[in-house]
Amino acid sequence: MNQALIFMMMTIWLFPFTIFMFYRIFLENKKGLTAMYILSIILVILGLIMVIRYKIPMFLCMLGPLFFFSLYDIATRIFVARYNRKPIDTGYSWQSGIFADRVYNITVTTLGLILPILIFALLYDLFK
């Protein structure tokens, strides 16, 4: 695979993590999350076009942001239902009593990174 293509795939794949880590306030806003869903769906459509027209296997990589934002939305809804509040960003917070928030952040980050890679590895041959 071309190095520029691999760079583009990794950039698209890591795009949601940049939003999650540094601009979470944007995701906590319903309009911001909706905008991210729309952008992710556009990326999926572009990935399908690249597979169908140019035979470039970008579809699975372009599913990454949609998968991550869906995972974020589901995990946040579960957290809010259980603790009756939104999770706190614990990246630079050393206060005590926010263990559930730390577990939430670690879980969303880990699942958001590992599951798309596993799905990509398992389904890569289908879209080759």
For tokens 């583009």, name the residue: 8
Counting DSSP H helices and E strands in the chain, the numbers are 5, 0
Q: Specify the pLDDT at position 22.
A: 83
pLDDT in tens, 22-76: 888 888 889 999 999 999 999 889 888 888 887 777 777 788 888 899 999 999 9
**76-91 average pLDDT score:** 92
Residues 6+ apart with CB under 8 A from 22: none
- What are the C-alpha distances in Å from 38 to residues 45, 46, 78, 111? 11, 12, 22, 22
Q: Specify the pLDDT at position 114.
A: 86
Q: Specify the pLDDT at position 121.
A: 77
pLDDT band at 1 (very low <50, low <70, confident <90, very high): low
Q: What is the mean pLDDT of the chain?
A: 85
CA distance 118 to 55: 22
